[in-house]
Structure 1
Amino acid sequence: MARTTMQQRMLGALRPADLEGEPERWQQQKSTRTRLRIIEAAIACLLEGGYVGLTTHRIAARIGISRGAMQHHFPARADLVAAVVEHVFYARMRLFLDDYLSGMAKAGEDNLVEIATQAHWRSVQSPEYAAYVELAVAARSDEALREVFEPAARRYDEVWVSEMIESFPQWRARWEAMKLASDLVTCAHMGMLLQRPTFGEARIEQLNTLIWDVLRGLYKA
C-alpha cells in the first residue's frame, strides 16, 4: 500500500491537466482524446526531426486533422510546446516508477540501490527520455522553450527529492549522501547514453558497475 501511495503522490504532482479524471460528456471525451493524439504525434515529430520538426503543420498532417482543429486545441505553437513538456516529464516519471516498483516487489528493499539504478538506466533509453534530451538541448538557445522547460525540470526534481525523503526514512539521517547519489546517477546516465555509440556496451556495463559500487558505498557509509 505504501508503494502505491508513493506512486499516486508523485504522479499526481506531475499529472498534466489533460489526464485529470475522465470527462463525463462524450464530446469532452472526444476532445481529450484528440488533444492526447496531438501531443503524442508532437513527441513523435520531436524524435524524428528535433525541436525544429515540432510544427503544428507537420503534426496535423501526421494524424490527419485540419489546421483549424489543431488551432482549436492549441491556438499557438507555444501552447502545444507547453503541453508536450508536461507530458514528457510525466511519462518519464511514470515509466521509471512502474519499473522501479516492480523490481522492489520482486527483490525487496535490501537491493533498492541497485534496483533503482538499473531502473533509471533503462528509463533513459526510452523514447520519452529521448524527447526530454531534445527539449533540454533546444531550451539552451530557445528562450520561449526555456521559459516552459526549466520550471518543469525544477518541478520534476522537487517532486523526486521530496518523495525520496518521504519514502525512504533510512536515508533521512544521510540526506546529503542520498541527494548526491541521485544527482550522480542522473548526470552519469545522461552522459553514458550520449557516449554509448562511441564507448560500446562493454564499457557502458563497466561504468554501470562502477556506479553501483559508488552508490553502495554512499548508502553504507
Structure 2
Amino acid sequence: MKTNSTNLFWTSYADLMTALFIVMLALFILSYKLFQDRQGELEVLASQYQKIQEIEAALSALEGEYFRFDSLNKRHELNIDIAFKSGKSEIAPAYYDKLQQAGKTLTNTIKNIRTDQQVKYMVVIEGMAARYTNERDLWKNQSESERDFTYRLSYERALALYKFWENNGVTFDRNTFEVIIAGSGFFGAGRYTGTSEARNKRFLIQVIPKIGTLDKGKP
C-alpha cells in the first residue's frame, strides 16, 4: 500500500513538473517573440528617425534669399517683409515676384530631396497678425471679438498666399504634399515684440516630413 502511494506521488509530481515545464517553455517562446517584435519596431523607428533627420538637413537648402530658419522654434519663415494694410489680407503687387520665387524654391527644394523611403511633406502656411501698439487701442488686444477677428484675418492672409501660389504656377502635388492653412492671430510662438511688433504681419512656413502615407481623405 505504501509502495502504491509512493508511486502515485511521484507520478503526480512528474506530471506537475512536466506541465510546469511546458508552461515555462510557452512563456519563454512568447516572451522571445514579443522581444523580437519589439526589437523590430525599435529598429524601424530608429530608421525612420534617421531618415527624418537627413530630410530636415536637406531642407536647409531652403535658407537663403527667400527663407530663413528659426532655430529656436525649428521652423522656416519667409524672408520677405510683407507690409499688409491694417486689417487687410490682400497681398500688394509689389511682393508678387518675390513670393512666386519663394513658392518655387519651396516646392523645388522638396521635390529634389532623394530618399529610398516613401516620404510625404506636411506644409503648414501660418498667417500672423500684429497687436495694437497705439496707446488708445491697447484695449483691443484684450477684446474677445478683436481676437476672433485677428484669427480670421491671419487665416485669410495665409489663404491669400496659398491662392497666389496656386494661381501662379506653384503647385503642391497631393502625392507629395499635404497643405495646412492656419492663422494664429495675436498669438503663436516666436512672435516679435516691443518696437518690432509690426513685423508680426507675416507668414510662417513649417515643413514636416512624414515617413509613410498621409490620409488624403475620402474623394
Query: If the length of structure 1 is used for normalisation, what is the TM-score?
Result: 0.31
Answer 1 or 2: which has greater helix percent: 1
Answer 1 or 2: which has greater strand percent: 2
Query: If the length of structure 2 is used for normalisation, what is the TM-score?
Result: 0.31
- Name the larger-Rg structure: 2
